[in-house]
Amino acid sequence: MCGIVGYIGQKSGVDVVLGGLEALEYRGYDSAGLALVNDDGGQVFKQVGRVNGLVDAVNTEHPASNLVIGHTRWATHGTPSLVNAHPQSNNQQTIFVVHNGIIENFAELRERLQAAGYNFTSQTDTEVIPNLIDYYAKQLPSFEAAFKAALGDVHGAYAIAAISTDEPDTLYAARLSSPLVIGVGEQEHYLASDPAAIMAHTKRVIYLEDYDVAVISGNDVDVHNLKHNRHAKPKAELLDYDNEQALLGDFPNFMLKEIFEAPATIRSATLGRALADRSLVKLGGLENVLGQLKYIDRIVIVACGTSYYAGLLGEYLIEELSGIPVEVHMASEFKYRDEPFSRGTALLAISQSGETADTIAALKKVEDYGVLRLGIVNAVGSTIARMTDAGVYCHAGPERAVASSKAFIAQTTVLALIALHLSNGNTKLFKPLLDELDALPAKAQAVLDNAGRIKAIAEKYARHRDFLFIGRQYAYPMAMEGALKLKEVSYIHAEGYAAGEMKHGPLAMIDKDFPTFAIAIDSPLLEKTISNIQEIKARGGPVIALATQGNKSLEQLCDDVIYLPHTMHETQPMLQAIAVQLFAYYIATARGFDVDHPRNLAKSVTVE
C-alpha cells in the first residue's frame, strides 16, 4: 500500500523521485504526486491514476530541485482525487508531507486545528500533519522541535516524510508501524518505504525503527527515538538485491514473468539447504536457535492472505513430518484473541513483504511472552526479518505483481524444509522428500510447458461469474489459494472449499453456470474427490479437473482436464500452484484486465 520516495543531495531529485515512484507501482495505488523545494519556494504536482501521468505533468514544467518527496496513494480516507492525493500541505503551502498509514485520531486533531483557525480542503487524515507541524512551528524554536511535537499528538501507524520552504537543505522522516528506509549515497540520501524504489542508486540503507525521527541532509543523518528519548548512530547495511530480477524482460507483464520463474524459485529456496546426497537439511537462519527448537511442543503460524494459505500447507507438512502440533491463525484475528502460550510454543510469522501490519502486530503481541519467534519472509532486512529471533528467507527475488505467485511457491518450499528440519530425520519420508525437492524444478517447468493447454481451457470459462474450487488434504488450502488468485486478478466471484464439505451447503449453488475447479491429483483421497465430482456433474455443473499425468479416468467424467507431472503428495502444492496461477492469469487477460495492478489491492498491506 502507498509508496514514499524522497531525495536530498546534489543532483536532480525530481528524476530520482519519479523513477522511485515508478519502481513502486507494483504496490497498488490510485494517485501520485510530488513536492519540491527550491529557491522559488515550494511546488506540488499531483495526478489521479498512473505515475506516467505525473511524469508528463512534471516534465511539462521541468522543475529543478535537490529536495523532493513523492508518493503513490492507495485511498483510505477520501476518494481517489487530486485534492486527496499526496503530498498534503499546510494552509500557507510552506510545509509538505507524504504519509503512509492511518492517523486514528485525525478527526479530533482536525477539530482542534480548526478551532485555532486552520482550514482543510481534503478528506484525508494526512492533512492534519502539516498543519499540526505549522501550529507547533509558531510556538517552538525549530522545525525539528515542531515536527516531533506534532508526532507526539498523532495516534496510529505512519511513515512520514516532510519538507519545508524554510529549511531547503533538510528532509524530515518518521516511522511507527510502517516501513521506512534511508538510502546512503555520496553527499546524498534517499528515502523510501520500500528499498526497491532506490535500488537503482544505492544498496546501502539505514532501517528506521518504530518511533524513530530522522533529520536528513545531503551529508548527514541524525536519528532520535522518541519512545526511548535517545539519539542513535545509524548504521548502514548492505542489501542483497538483484535489480535485474525486477526488470520485465520479454514478458508482457510481471505476473506471467513471476509465474514462469517458479522452477528457479524452487531451486533458490532449496539451494544449499536440501542436501539430498548427504541426507541433510541445513537451514542457516535457524542455527542460533537450535537449542530452543528441541523443546518446542507447539507451533502457531500467523499470516494473511496468500501467506495464510501457505501456512495451512505448512500445518499439514510439519505435523506429518515432525509430529509437532500446529495451529494456523489469520494474523488480523490472532492479535485480538486471548491465546494461551507456554515456553514450549513457537510463533511462526509468514509474510512475503515482511511488512504486513497485522502479522507485525501478532509478533508484537507475544514480545513479552518469552516464546520463540520465527519468520518466513522474502524481503531481506524487512521489519519481520528484524523482529524475529530467527527465520528462513524465501530467496524468491523481487515480486512486482500484486497477486503473489512465486513467493507463495517459495514459502511452501521453505515450509517443507522446516518440516524436514524439525523431524530430525525421524520420518520415512525424509530422504524421498529431499530427492523429490531436487527433482521438482524440472517438474515445475513441465507444468509451464503445458501453459498453452491451460490458456485454452481458461479462455473457455472466462465469461463465467462464479467459480468453486475444491480439494482434500493438501489440495484444500490450494483450492482456497486458487479461488483467491481468480478473485484477485479476474474479479470473478470464487470460493475455495474442502471437497468433503460439498453436501454441507455449497452443493446448493451448483448449476450449469457455476463451474468447479476440482484438484483431483493422485492421492489416498482421490476416490473421495471423484465422488464429489460426480455429485457436481449429477447437478449439471461443469468441472475442470487438475489431475496427475496418466490418469485418463477423469476425462470421462470431467469437461476439461489439466495434467500435472507425478510427484509426492507433500510436493503437489508447488505444482498445483503454478496451474491455478496460470488459470487465473489467462482468464484475467482474456477479460482484458491489468493483472499486475488489480483494482483496490496493494502488494504490501502496511495498515490494519
- Cα-atom radius of gyration of the chain, to the nearest Å? 25
pLDDT of residue 337: 86
* Region of 62 on the Ramachandran plot (φ > 0 left; ψ -120 to 50 alpha; else beta): left
pLDDT of residue 200: 87
pLDDT in tens, 430-474: 999 999 999 999 999 999 999 999 999 999 999 999 999 999 999
What is the amino acid identity at position 411?
Answer: Q
Rounded to the nearest 5 percent, the helix, strand and coil shares of the chain are 40, 25, 35
pLDDT of residue 419: 97
Q: Is the pLDDT of residue 414 over 90?
A: yes
Question: CA separation (Å) from 103 to 76, 77, 467, 475?
Answer: 11, 10, 38, 41
Give the orientation angle of helix 430-449 with respect to helix 572-590, to 10 degrees. Answer: 20
**How far apart are the C-alpha atoms of 285 and 279, rounded to whole Å?**
19
What cell does 195 get?
Answer: 528499498
Question: Which residues contact residue 281 at a Cβ distance below 8 angstroms, ignoring those fewer than 6 apart?
Answer: 273, 274, 275, 417, 420, 421, 434
Q: Is the pLDDT of residue 139 over 80?
A: yes
Residue 292 belongs to what H/E stretch? helix 290-293
Average pLDDT in the 595-606 region? 78
* pLDDT > 70: percent of the chain: 97
Question: CA separation (Å) from 420 to 9, 63, 209, 324, 374?
Answer: 50, 57, 34, 12, 16
Q: Is the pLDDT of residue 245 over 60?
A: no
**How far apart are the C-alpha atoms of 530 and 518, rounded to whole Å?**
9
CB distance 481 to 608 below 8 Å: no
**How far apart are the C-alpha atoms of 24 and 72, rounded to whole Å?**
8
Question: Which 3-state string (H, E, C) describes 511-571?
Answer: CCCCCEEEECCCCCCHHHHHHHHHHHHHCCCCEEEEEECCCCHHHHHCCEEEEECCCCHHH
Q: If you search the block for the grid coordinates 486533531, which residue do you land on?
A: 109
Average pLDDT in the 281-305 region? 94
**How far apart are the C-alpha atoms of 165 and 168, rounded to whole Å?**
6
Domains of the chain: 3-239 (3.60.20.10), 248-445 (3.40.50.10490), 450-593 (3.40.50.10490)
CB distance 6 to 190 below 8 Å: yes
Q: Where are the alpha helices (DSSP H) in 138-261?
A: 143-153, 254-259
Going by their DSSP bridges, the two strands 372-377 and 493-498 should be labelled as unpaired
Q: Where are the alpha helices (DSSP H) in 117-185?
A: 128-137, 143-153
**What's the sign of the alpha-carbon dihedral 177, 368, 237, 274?**
negative
User: Can you give the pTM of this predicted structure?
Assistant: 0.81
Q: At 10, is the secondary structure helix, strand, or coil?
A: coil
Residues labelled as active-site residues: 2, 603
Q: What angle do CA 479, 492, 28 make, to 5 degrees?
A: 95
pLDDT in tens, 27-86: 667 889 999 999 889 999 999 988 989 999 898 888 889 999 999 987 778 888 999 999
Beta strands in 304-433 (DSSP E): 326-330, 345-351, 372-377, 390-393
What cell does 111 get?
Answer: 477539530
**How far apart are the C-alpha atoms of 473 and 52, rounded to whole Å?**
46
pLDDT of residue 179: 85
Q: Is the pLDDT of residue 244 over 60?
A: no
- If pLDDT is split at 50, 70 and 90, which confidence band does 502 have? confident
With CA atoms as reference, report the closest residue to 67 among 216, 195, 182, 204.
Answer: 216
**How far apart are the C-alpha atoms of 7 and 9, rounded to whole Å?**
7
Strand partners, 173: 161, 214
pLDDT of residue 600: 81
**How far apart are the C-alpha atoms of 85 and 33, rounded to whole Å?**
7
pLDDT in tens, 376-403: 999 877 889 889 999 999 999 888 898 9
Q: Is the pLDDT of residue 87 over 70?
A: yes
